[in-house]
Each structure stands twice: as C-alpha cells, then as structure tokens.
C-alpha cells in the first residue's frame, strides 16, 4: 500500500496523503465528537460516508476496546453489510450464508482522549464492492521498533492477500504515521531462487517482525506449493519495512 498518512488523534485530523481500499471521510466531519455507542456508529452514516449503496441489510457485528496509548483509548466497530444482489435468504446476525459471509465488510475505529466522555471517529474503511475486502479486529502491538497500529484487511478469496494498514506511533507529534509495508515484497521476489514464485498474501508477525510465505513451482496447484518456504526477518527504516535477512527452507514431502 503506497502513500503516507499522518493521523492526529487530537481535535483535528491532518490528512497528508493516502492510498487505501476506501477513501477516508473529510477531516472536518471526523472532528465532530461522537459518543461511543453502537447506535451512534450507525450503518446508515457509515454507508453514506463510504458511498456504499444497494444494501439489503446492515448491522454491527462486533465492537469493543482494543487498546490504549498515552491518554488515548481506542475502540472498533465491524459492520455486516449484505448487498441487495444477494439472492439467498438471511440477515445480519443470523447463521444464514449471507449473515456469515458478509459479517465483516466494514470497519470503524474511534478514539477517546483522556477524561473526555465522547469519542471521535479516527479511521474507517469500507468499499462499494462489498465482496472485495474482509476486516478484522485491529490491534496495538509493541516491539523493539515502537508501538504499531495494525488494521487487518484481507482480500476475499483463496489468495488471502494482505491489504492491511500499519501505522507507528510518533510520540513527539502524538500522531500515527502510516508505514510502507509492501515494497519489501518486491525485493523478496527478486531474491527468490529461479523457478519459484509467491502466489498468496503475506501476513507479517509484527510482534516478532518475521514473515513467512510458501513458494510455488510452475506447475503447482494453488492449494499445494512445493517450492519450500521463505522466512524473512524484517526491520524498519524511514517508515518502511525492509528485509534484514531471508532464509529459504526446502519443501519436504510428507
């Protein structure tokens, strides 16, 4: 994911540049205090801000507190969004196929500062192509490089491609700064032994700063890579993930 985004969790948001599965709402709108309660995180407003239309049903799938940094507490909301074109019966919250399949099709993140009774809408993602992305509970992760905000976003499908957003906390400016966490994958592709490719998404372990991916030979099926595994040790330089080292493990037939 390209671009750098600095997000202020104070009374305003400074949007410098962003490229993401969904455009962020205007900063003036995000500065309006919103009491943190599911009824105030309404689907109607979420759908409007993200230009999502032709909906059969929308509801909140899950919500809660996912971490604190400095004097800021962060909450998340995950939305179920069932499109009008879904032909199978069912609604959000039930065990029908649509209720399960469309359960995690949008996300909102709210921040509460200090002793304030209200929260502010900090970040949200949703896409008019409802079947494109899956959103999971975000996490605040601390390691030797600093404090990270991970917003997990997966591309729906067998490839399990990673479109997540990763930010690092800048204590001097009290802002989250968006990281480039994909360019290193191009570098890894250039280091692969001849005849091997990466066919699926890579999801780094931010706690350990390690990423693993299976490798494919030319005639491998999508289910069954036989080219071994690449194990990558990551480092952080200039707001970018970089490769510190990489090891290739050969495939061992079971």
* Residue entry with tokens 């493990």: 249
DSSP E strand stretches across 105-200 = 106-113, 119-126, 133-135, 139-143, 146-151, 153-155, 165-170, 175-178
Q: What are phi and psi of 98, to 5 degrees?
A: -60, -40
- The pLDDT score that the predictor gives to residue 5 is 33
Query: What's the pLDDT band for 42 if we cut at 50, 70, 90?
Result: confident
**How far is it, in rounded angstroms, from Cα 61 to Cα 39?**
13
Q: How large is the average pLDDT for residues 211-232? A: 95
37 CA to centre of own chain: 22
**How far is it, in rounded angstroms, from Cα 67 to Cα 135?**
17
Average pLDDT, the chain: 84
Q: What percent of the chain has pLDDT over 70?
A: 82
pLDDT in tens, 66-99: 999 988 999 999 999 999 999 999 999 999 999 9
What is the pTM (predicted TM-score) of this model?
Answer: 0.82
Q: How large is the average pLDDT for residues 197-207? A: 96
pLDDT in tens, 106-142: 999 999 888 777 788 899 999 999 999 999 999 999 9
pLDDT(187) > 80: yes
Instruction: Specify whether the CB–CB gap between 126 and 105 falls below 8 A.
Output: yes
88 C-beta neighbours (distance < 10 Å), count: 10
* Residue with the larger pLDDT of the pair 234 and 45: 234
Q: How large is the average pLDDT for residues 187-191? A: 95
């Amino acid at each position: 994911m390209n671009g750098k985004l600095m997000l202020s969790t104070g009374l305003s948001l400074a949007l410098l540049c962003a490229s993401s599965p969904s455009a962020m709402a205007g900063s003036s709108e995000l500065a309006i205090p919103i009491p943190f309660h599911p009824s105030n995180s309404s689907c109607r407003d979420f759908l409007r801000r993200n230009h999502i239309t032709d909906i059969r049903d929308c509801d909140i799938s899950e919500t809660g507190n996912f971490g604190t940094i400095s004097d800021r507490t962060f909450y998340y909301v995950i939305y179920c969004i069932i499109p009008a074109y879904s032909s199978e019966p069912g609604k959000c919250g039930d065990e029908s196929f649509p209720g399960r399949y469309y359960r995690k099709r949008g996300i909102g993140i709210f921040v509460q500062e200090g002793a304030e009774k209200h929260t502010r809408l900090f970040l949200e993602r949703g896409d008019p192509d409802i079947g494109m992305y899956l959103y999971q509970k975000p996490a605040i992760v601390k390691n030797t490089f600093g404090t990270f905000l991970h917003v997990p976003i997966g591309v729906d499908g067998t490839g399990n491609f990673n479109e997540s957003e990763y930010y690092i906390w800048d204590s001097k400016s009290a802002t989250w700064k968006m990281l480039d966490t994909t360019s290193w994958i191009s570098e890894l592709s250039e280091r692969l032994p001849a005849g091997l490719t990466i066919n699926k998404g890579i999801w780094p372990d931010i706690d350990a700063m390690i990423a693993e991916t299976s490798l494919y030979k030319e005639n491998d099926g999508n289910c069954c890579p036989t080219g071994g595994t690449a194990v990558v040790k990551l480092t952080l330089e200039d707001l970018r993930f970089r490769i510190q080292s990489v090891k290739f493990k050969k495939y061992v037939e079971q």
